[in-house]
Structure 1
Amino acid sequence: MILPSASPLTLVLSLAASAAYAVSATGATRTDQTLSRVAVWLAWSLHGALLGWSLWGGERPLFGFAPALSITAWLVGLVYAVEIFVFPQLKTPWVLSSIGAAVVLLTLLFPGEPLSANLSAWLPLHWALGIASYGLFAAAVVHAWMMTRAEARIRIGADGFTGMPLLTMERLTFRFVHVGFLLLTATLIAGFFFGNYLYGSAHAIKWDHKTIFSVLSWLTFGVLLIGRARFGWRGRQAVRVLYMGTGLLLLAYVGSRFVLEVMMGQTL
């Protein structure tokens, strides 16, 4: 546990963002959407300030499995912040706020390792593409979860209104998948063809667990998009494949880094 090494500002921002996320989740479960919306905006702002300080406020940026999850959760929050302008009645998903609080505290415990000064200046762009794809697929998963939950409530005669028409939510879900797939493709191409330049010959892309899971997730998302375009996959069938691809992608970087950092104690 690396909590004692956290700076006072990091500690304050982490606890404040986590508390705001918790208030948002509580407000969402109690249908107090005004309180939930204000709290989630505050949490998202504090979370962004925390990420900015972690990446650029110290001597060298810190990165690892927990910061990757934290950035992903923040990007999903950004998607929600944009959507709330278009659909003012959109309800705050309590699961989104709960995950935000969890990853902020997780990053406080496992802030990652300082990046080597010898890494390529283009490496942050490569990571940005990968993390952006993580964020878009995570946003797709959140929307798919909200959509299937609303459909299940409608089937039993309960209120399934989410603040956004279900067909619109479905279209957004697969738009996120499309763009995420393009970014993941760009990330893999950059890794395969420019790995030596980005990481150096000692750390270039190779057929390890991370690469294998990344390629498997890419193939899964490709099957999902082909299945939807050619065979009209919708509903639970499409959502299951989306969950499967996202799970494989999560194992690719976050899973491998968790094993290396936490279980094996290795650095970046």
Structure 2
Amino acid sequence: MQTYLFVLVALLYIGCTFLPSSRRQTISIVVAVAWVLHGGVLWSDVVGPEELRVGFSMMLSATLWVSVAAYWLENRNYTLDGLRVLVLPMAALAAVLPAMFPGNMVALNGKSPVFLWHIVISILAYSTLTIAAFHAVLMVLQESRLHTRPGGAKAGWFGHALDRLPALLTMEKLLFRLIAFGFFLLTLTVLSGVVFSEELFNKAFKWDHKTIFTMLSWALFGLLLAGRKWQGWRGRTALSFTLTGFAVLLLAYVGSRFVLEVVLHRVLV
């Protein structure tokens, strides 16, 4: 039953991707319905009475679930139709991943509440920086379109969606707002992982691939914010840092878990 519900969520997301921009209210309602359904099914699949299902597919699905909420809220204040075209197909793919890659169950008995808080904060951090990465991609496409703008019907529906975006300066302001919040959450994730490593994972803190990639991503986003404040970094520099930092962060958990679970068939927390 859950598999069919995951597929239904994916179909709703995909359907909203191709609805015309003029159907804004319909898009908003359907996305909200799909988002609620997505969250409900994901919760019932991941959270058990005394156990928690973990894995790269759950993390990715939860990350895109929060990202859809961020898109929905942003789109109510700004016309970000181009973001819909990027976020919803990815959310559709992420919605069905838990049905194909179920991960493994972790017993919650004896686990500290810090363990759950660490997971929740890390998902929020990943989600915020994911939507920031989508935002950066939109800005790259928007800037490129300003220099090579086709006219009339040749622009295509995606071109018209880009034309409806706010000005680049407004988009840049939104981008750094997302990055600053995401960096704050990522800092909490790093600190909770360092300070409570023994309590969270029953082992002392160690420098593994996940820790190294997370710290490298944290350093990149921190350097970007410092460069923005003290050197006025913007434009291509800011976008390059954002996309590089996100790619490294993706490797930190989702990429490494995919290799361990799917390629090497190892079961880890």
What's the TM-score once normalised by structure 2's chain length? Answer: 0.87
| Structure 2 equivalent of residue 83 of structure 1 | 74
1:24 and 2:26 aligned: no
- Unaligned stretches of 5+ residues in structure 2: 151-159
> For residue 181 of structure 1, what is the aligned residue in structure 2?
183
**For 1:234 and 1:33, how far apart are their aligned partners in 2?**
34
> What residue is the counterpart of 2:155 in the other structure?
none
Against the structure 1 CA distance between its residues 248 and 150, is the aligned structure 2 distance closer, same or farther, given a 3 Å change threshold? same
* Paired residue secondary structure (1:62): strand
Task: Provide the residue aligned with 2:236 in structure 1.
Answer: 236
In the alignment, which of 117, 129, 137 is matched to residue 137 of structure 1?
A: 129
Shift, 1:48, TM fit: 1.4
1:16-165 mapped onto 2 (5 Å cutoff):
16-27=8-19, 31=21, 33-34=23-24, 35-56=26-47, 60-87=51-78, 89-91=79-81, 93-117=84-108, 118-158=110-150, 160-165=162-167
Pick closer, same or farther for the CA change 1:155–1:258 going to 2, 3 Å.
same
Q: Secondary structure at the match of 2:51?
A: coil
Q: What is aligned with 1:169?
A: 171
2: distance between equivalents of 1:162 and 1:151? 13
Residue 227 of structure 1 deviates from its aligned partner by: 1.6
Amino acid at match of 1:178: A
- Alpha-carbon distance, 1:57 to partner: 5.4
* Cα distance in structure 1, aligned partners of 2:213 and 2:80: 34
Equivalents in 2 of 1:39, 1:154: separation in Å? 31
Q: Are the aligned partners of 2:128 and 2:179 in contact in 1 as well (CA < 8 Å)?
A: yes
Separation in structure 2 between the aligned mates of residue 36 and residue 44 of structure 1, nearest angstrom: 12
- Runs of at least 4 residues off by over 6 Å: none
- Mapped contact 1:13–1:49 kept (Cα < 8 A): no
Q: Do the aligned residues in 2 keep the contact of 1:17 with 1:47 (CA within 8 Å)?
A: yes
Cα distance in 2 between the residues matched to 1:40 and 1:32: 15
Tell me the equivalent position of 1:4. Answer: none
The two structures, once aligned, show a CA RMSD in angstroms of: 1.9
Q: CA deviation at 1:222?
A: 1.3
8 Å contact 2:28–2:72 — kept in the other structure? no
Distance in 1 (CA, whole Å) between partners of 2:261 and 2:27 is: 35
Can you list the C-alpha shifts for 1:139-161, whole angstroms capped at 9, x where unaligned?
Answer: 11111112221222122235543
Q: Deviations over 1:170-211 (max 9, x none)?
A: 11111111111111111111111210011113xx43111001
Secondary structure at the residue paired with 1:266? Answer: coil
Equivalent in the alignment of 1:206: 206
Equivalent residue for 2:266? 266
8 Å contact kept, 1:146–1:162: no
Percent pairwise identity: 36
Q: Distance in 2 between matches of 1:172 and 1:260?
A: 35
Contact 2:46 2:58 in 1 (8 A): no
Alpha-carbon contact 2:213-2:248 (below 8 Å) kept: yes
Count of residues in correspondence between the two structures: 255
Q: Distance in 1 between matches of 2:265 and 2:149?
A: 51
After superposition, the Cα gap between the structure-2 partners of 1:190 and 1:177, relative to the gap in structure 1 and judged at 3 Å, is: same
Matched residue, 2:153: none
Please give the secondary structure, in 2, of the residue aligned with 1:164.
coil
Q: Which runs of 5+ in 1 are unaligned?
A: 1-7
Shift of 1:42: 2.7
Contact persistence 1:55–1:62 (CA under 8 A): yes
